[in-house]
């Protein structure tokens, strides 16, 4: 299969870089075709601005969604964005490797998302509706994060919020929104000081997750058009298991 | 009082820019002192890298948290970061004005957070523990966002997740973590096409929220040291109202 690995850390000797290299090697050894977007190495431009839309007249008000859709449909995006879109289209699965900074993606990775998932590519009237079969139906995604905190702090009752809830904007808001089926996130905790023994364990656990990229069951998020939501995109009363609240509402109960 | 308004949109004629100007004018008219960080106008550098830490030797492995804390405590951060830290320290309240892009802050704003809230400033062993009185105790924060979606899609049962849950990484993970008390977010929905009448309504609603910046009750997040969590940062059994699940666990029931 074809896999895109995106990684986001300024230091080539970092844990993030090591895990990204490990993933690439492991997936290739398993016979997959792998492409890599090492965002810092690429000096990826993080901010959306008028330069992303070369045809946008400087004196016109920049309406980001409109300009984004226009440029996307006309094939007139800046070259760096177009190249990343081609990789996403090509890939059967996307792996994002990053350190959790302030409980979300580093800015450079957020900027990859903001700039690559343009209107007309990832969302908007020109592509299939969100949370359905979606524009990228059939693809899968795996978030692989490192966090300084202990695992209990990201558990269901952990103060940081469960890792799935904290990553919901990516898992559900980016991937599922565009039809990509996200797996449960993979996380290495206590990452500020990771002795070789725990690093070896982490690689082993990561390998098992990478081996299951196309076979493990994705998070069972509900489809918008599957009969669970009303016309205002609210979950219908009584669809959820009794007592379910919060973001867990949007996943079907596991069998 | 002293208020820092941070705004993040590439277009000075955008709704975001209009709302930011409105906030600044309204707060000044009410007698407050206001400073502004207009991130695009400042050409804010979004990505954390070794240049943020001028003393960091190029051949040493960049351990971001370590380098960040060392530079912060030594007063040797890059000038742009130091200037923003001074504004945050100065402010009694911080208002962040931004469009919700992929269910979180635009990359340039995430980069303001990543770069400004360094170890030794916003977190780490050199500052008070997180989720307590905290390093910025006494300060308040208001997120003011625009979103293309209809409000029902961000309601408690809305498919995007409730707006409070979607913004939890900022509300709880950034603000409350550092001791800043966040108010409920202010949101303008249906923002892709906002006729003058609805824009006038939005300004009026925003004005009411700005007027309550120092008097409205913040989100009642629990403190880590208030007796609700165990030593592994997990909420103790039975502390929550019956049936509470998900991120709502971390707020006290409203009286």
Q: How would residue A25 be classed by pLDDT, with cut points 50, 70 and 90?
A: very high
Any chain B CB within 8 A of the CB of A251? Answer: no
pLDDT for the residue numbered A59: 86
Average pLDDT over residues B66-86: 96
d(CA B90, CA B139): 10
Any chain B CB within 8 A of the CB of A239? Answer: no
Q: What are the tens digits of pLDDT across the range B22-34? A: 999 999 999 999 9
pLDDT for the residue numbered B46: 98
**Are the C-beta atoms of residues B119 and B29 closer than 8 Å to each other?**
no
Q: Can you give the pTM of this predicted structure?
A: 0.98
* Interface list for B 70-109 with A (CB within 8 A): 99, 101-108
Beta bridge partners of A251: A221
A87: helix, strand or coil: helix
Q: Which has the minimum average pLDDT: A227-241, B52-66, B161-175, B239-253?
A: B52-66
Exposed e or buried b for every residue in B159-177, given b needs 16+ CB within 10 A? bbbbbbbbbbbbbbbbbbb
Q: What are the tens digits of pLDDT across the range B80-127? A: 999 999 999 999 999 999 999 999 999 999 999 999 999 999 999 889
Superfamily name and number for A2-219: Flavodoxin domain (3.40.50.360)
Any chain A CB within 8 A of the CB of B58? Answer: no
Q: How would residue A245 be classed by pLDDT, with cut points 50, 70 and 90?
A: very high
Nearest CA in chain A to B251: A159
Q: Do B234 and A11 make contact, defined as CB atoms within 8 angstroms?
A: no
Q: How would residue A255 be classed by pLDDT, with cut points 50, 70 and 90?
A: low
Q: What percent of chain B has pLDDT over 70?
A: 100
Q: What are the tens digits of pLDDT across the range A145-185? A: 999 999 999 999 999 999 999 999 999 999 999 999 999 99
Handedness of CA A218, A219, A224, A230 (dihedral sign): positive
d(CA B123, CA B247): 21
Average pLDDT over residues A211-224: 97
pLDDT for the residue numbered B71: 96
- Residue B133 predicted with pLDDT over 80: no
Residues of chain B in contact with residue A102, where contact means CB-CB under 8 angstroms, are: 110, 113-114, 117, 169, 173-174
Q: Which has the minimum average pLDDT: A81-95, A233-247, B120-134?
A: B120-134
Average pLDDT over residues A205-233: 97
Q: Do B249 and A157 make contact, defined as CB atoms within 8 angstroms?
A: yes
Q: Which has the minimum average pLDDT: A43-47, A126-130, A171-175, B247-251?
A: A126-130
The ipTM assigned to this model is 0.98
Q: How would residue A57 be classed by pLDDT, with cut points 50, 70 and 90?
A: confident
Chains A & B: contacts with CB separation below 8 Å: 213
What are the residue boundaries of the structural domains of chain B, listed by start?
2-218, 222-255
Instruction: Write down the CATH number for the domain with range B2-218.
Output: 3.40.50.360
- Residue B58 predicted with pLDDT over 90: no
* Interface list for A 13-32 with B (CB within 8 A): 13-14
**Are the C-beta atoms of residues B118 and B76 closer than 8 Å to each other?**
no
**Are the C-beta atoms of residues B23 and B144 closer than 8 Å to each other?**
yes
CA separation (Å) from A159 to A155, B134, B164? Answer: 8, 15, 16
Q: What is B73-103 written as a DSSP string?
A: HTT-S-HHHHHHHHHHHH-SEEEEEEE-BTT
- Residue A17 predicted with pLDDT over 90: yes
Q: Do A247 and B169 make contact, defined as CB atoms within 8 angstroms?
A: no
Q: Is A21 exposed, middle or buried (0-12, 13-18, 19+ CB in 10 A)?
A: middle
Q: Do B224 and A159 make contact, defined as CB atoms within 8 angstroms?
A: yes
């Amino acid at each position: 299969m074809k896999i895109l690995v995106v990684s986001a850390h300024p230091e080539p000797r970092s844990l993030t870089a090591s895990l990204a290299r490990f993933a690439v090697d492991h997936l290739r050894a398993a016979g997959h075709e792998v492409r890599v977007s090492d965002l810092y190495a690429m000096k990826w431009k993080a901010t959306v601005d008028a330069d992303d839309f070369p045809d946008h007249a400087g004196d016109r008000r920049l309406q980001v969604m409109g300009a984004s859709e226009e440029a996307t449909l006309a094939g007139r995006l800046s070259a760096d964005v177009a190249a990343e879109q081609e990789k996403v289209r090509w890939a059967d699965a996307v792996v994002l490797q990053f350190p959790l900074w302030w409980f979300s993606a580093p800015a450079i990775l957020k900027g990859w998302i903001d700039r690559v998932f343009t209107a007309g590519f990832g969302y908007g009237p020109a592509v299939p509706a969100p949370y359905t079969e979606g524009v990228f139906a059939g693809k899968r995604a795996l978030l692989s994060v490192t966090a300084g905190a202990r695992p209990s702090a990201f558990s269901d009752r952990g103060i940081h919020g469960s890792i799935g809830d904290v990553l919901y904007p990516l898992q559900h808001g980016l991937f599922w929104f565009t039809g990509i089926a996200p797996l449960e996130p993979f996380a290495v905790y206590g990452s500020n000081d990771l002795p070789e023994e725990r690093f070896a364990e982490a690689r082993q656990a990561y390998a098992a997750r990478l081996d299951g990229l196309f076979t493990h069951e994705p998070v069972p998020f509900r489809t918008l058009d599957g009969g669970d939501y009303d016309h205002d995109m609210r979950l219908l009363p009584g669809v959820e298991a009794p007592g379910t609240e919060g973001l867990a509402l949007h996943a079907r109960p596991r069998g």
